[in-house]
Chains A and B, each alone.
Chain A
Amino acid sequence: MRFDVSILVDYWSLLAGGAWLTLCITLVAFALGYLAGVAVALVAILPGWLPKLVTGIYIETLRNIPFIIILFVVYYGLPFSGIRLPATLVGTVALALFASAYYAEIVRGALQALPRGQFESARVVGMSPAQAMWYVVAPQVLRTLVPPSTNMTLTMMKESAVLSSITVPELTYQSLIVQGNTFAPFEVFAAVTAIYWLIAIAIAELSRQLERRVGTAQVHSILANPIAARYLSLDARRPT
């Protein structure tokens, strides 16, 4: 046995195509999933028991089932209702569904962690609920959302490998084909490992950029404490 990467030269276009599809699926599933997640979270914080019950069932159902089962239910269940869609589309939607439950929890948690007075002080000056959300709540919540959302997006990207089981020609699927043709599993999977790693690094870097952009005035949480504020505020440091 010899480790010979040159075997892969004939197959690089398959792997590159698979990597590109994985990236596209992740991006689309992220966008769809996040939209759905924000929507679910906004419903979840409405007053009353009904919104909480409905969103609770949505979130718990999707969180408590292995992703591969969600995928099978959607993929094999849709034809029963007379809908036939391409596997890639179905897989992306299933992935978005799966991630949306987690995104919803992340967004809901961040919204509820913000002191109520922030929303109330915006409402009291006459802002509508939507304006209060947009001008006061959202900018503050955004920076607490980035790190956990990045985690979930990375998890989701890796989970997209499961889509190979319904014949979506993404990176894992292609690597299985290449491996079948070359009988060189080690080389192939080493290459695939490197590609997944690169995609993950790219996502993490994007998130770091985003965090830097929205991460101003992060110190607020410490300074909400009056004792800490007294010692940390710029006024206190200035000699009098």
Chain B
Amino acid sequence: MTPPPILRVSALRKEYRGTRALNELYLDIAEGEIVALMGPSGCGKSTLLRCLTWLEQPDDGFIEVAGRPFGRVLTPGGMVRRLSRREIDALRPKIGLVFQQFNLWPHMTALENVVRPQVVVLGRSRAEATRRAEELLGLLGLADRAGRYPHALSGGQKQRVAIARALAMDPALMLFDEPTSALDPELSGEVLSVLKSLAATGMTMLVVTHEVGFAVNVADRIAFMDAGAIVEEGPARAVVSNPRTPRLRNFLELVLDKSLVSAGNTLAHSQTE
């Protein structure tokens, strides 16, 4: 028997005043797998991540994280039961979300940003939480920035602190919502390399990104989303070099055109291999 996927999304649906943001979306992510989620803006990528963390309540469908139902559950009697707020909060640390806008807490130092949630949510002792936080900040190359407040950090450093904050909760799955799009190319490279080393540790990741180069080189799989559903998915290189749907072909042309210098080279390189 194969182990249950870390993330299983089935028939997820979300409507905003008549427009379908998510339309019967299915997605499975196995342990250790890295999935790049791509798609034109407004296709529902961010909505998906917000539903996966229950920041928005999906109208219908089911989410399972590491085999445990999240948000709502189908009872043996065939009834759908919405989990209580407490039950939802209890599973939330298992799903790390990194925001596009970092959302660090500006009244705490970088270290405290990582320590506080461990103490408050997981009930760790301050000493233990601090040890874990220092270890993570060290791994992400921020050992000397621990005492700084977020306003004294660069964008890339802020994003790395945000990643450390999510990792400190020992998540089973990490979600990234365009983690580099608020950064200039130099700083985004810094964050991408962190993601790359995170991938090497076997972390299960779902990354919303426009960086085709990153998707091809790091992700195992690319899922392409359009109009609230995943319309094409497969091994990263195959999907990019040989898109089947015209929507994806158009999208790739546009994206590659824009980032010809950064991503195009990597792509060309990977195709000749």
- The segment from B34-42, B71-79, B84-92 that touches chain A is B84-92
Q: Quick check: is B26 within 8 A (CB to CB) of the other chain?
A: no
Q: Quick check: is B99 within 8 A (CB to CB) of the other chain?
A: yes
What is the CA–CA distance of A78 and B251 in the complex, to the nearest angstrom? 71
Q: Judge whether A216 and B107 touch: CB under 8 Å.
A: yes
Q: Chain B's nearest CB lies how many Å from the CB of A233? A: 6
Q: Quick check: is B169 within 8 A (CB to CB) of the other chain?
A: yes
- The segment from B14-22, B149-157, B213-221, B223-231 that touches chain A is B149-157
Q: Quick check: is A212 within 8 A (CB to CB) of the other chain?
A: no
What is the CA–CA distance of A117 and B89 in the complex, to the nearest angstrom? 17
- Whether A117 contacts B103 in the complex (CB less than 8 A), given A125-B92, A128-B89, comes out as yes
Q: Chain A's nearest CB lies how many Å from the CB of B271? A: 35
- Whether A126 contacts B117 in the complex (CB less than 8 A), given A140-B107, A217-B107, comes out as yes
What is the CA–CA distance of A131 and B120 in the complex, to the nearest angstrom? 8
Specify which chain B residues have a CB less than 8 angstroms from the CB of A131 in the assembled complex.
Answer: 120-121
Q: Judge whether B149 and A217 touch: CB under 8 Å.
A: yes
What is the CA–CA distance of A220 and B150 in the complex, to the nearest angstrom? 8
Q: Judge whether B120 and A135 touch: CB under 8 Å.
A: yes
Contact of B97 among A118, A124, A216, A233 (CB under 8 A): A124
Specify which chain A residues have a CB less than 8 angstroms from the CB of B179 in the assembled complex.
Answer: none
Q: Which of B42-80 contact A (CB under 8 A)?
A: 53, 55
Q: Which of B143-175 contact A (CB under 8 A)?
A: 148-155, 157, 162, 165-166, 169
What is the CA–CA distance of A125 and B90 in the complex, to the nearest angstrom? 10
Interface string of A120-150 (1 = CB under 8 A from B): 1111111111010001100110000000000
Contact of A136 among B85, B86, B95, B105 (CB under 8 A): B105
Q: Judge whether A120 and B151 touch: CB under 8 Å.
A: no
Interface string of B102-122 (1 = CB under 8 A from A): 011111000000001100111
Specify which chain A residues have a CB less than 8 angstroms from the CB of B182 in the assembled complex.
Answer: 226
Q: Judge whether B152 and A234 touch: CB under 8 Å.
A: yes
- Whether A123 contacts B55 in the complex (CB less than 8 A), given A118-B105, A233-B152, comes out as yes
Q: Chain B's nearest CB lies how many Å from the CB of A29? A: 30
Specify which chain A residues have a CB less than 8 angstroms from the CB of B162 in the assembled complex.
Answer: 121
The chain A residue with its CB closest to the CB of B155 is A226
What is the CA–CA distance of A220 and B153 in the complex, to the nearest angstrom? 11
Given contacts A126-B93, A226-B155, A232-B151, 18 further A-B contacts (CB under 8 A): A115-B103, A117-B101, A118-B103, A118-B105, A121-B97, A123-B89, A124-B53, A125-B92, A126-B122, A126-B169, A127-B117, A131-B120, A220-B150, A233-B153, A233-B154, A235-B152, A235-B154, A236-B154
B residues lining the A interface (CB < 8 Å): 53, 55, 85-86, 89-90, 92-93, 95, 97, 99, 101, 103-107, 116-117, 120-122, 148-155, 157, 162, 165-166, 169, 182
* 6 residue pairs A–B, Cβ–Cβ below 8 Å: A126-B93, A126-B117, A126-B169, A135-B116, A226-B182, A233-B151
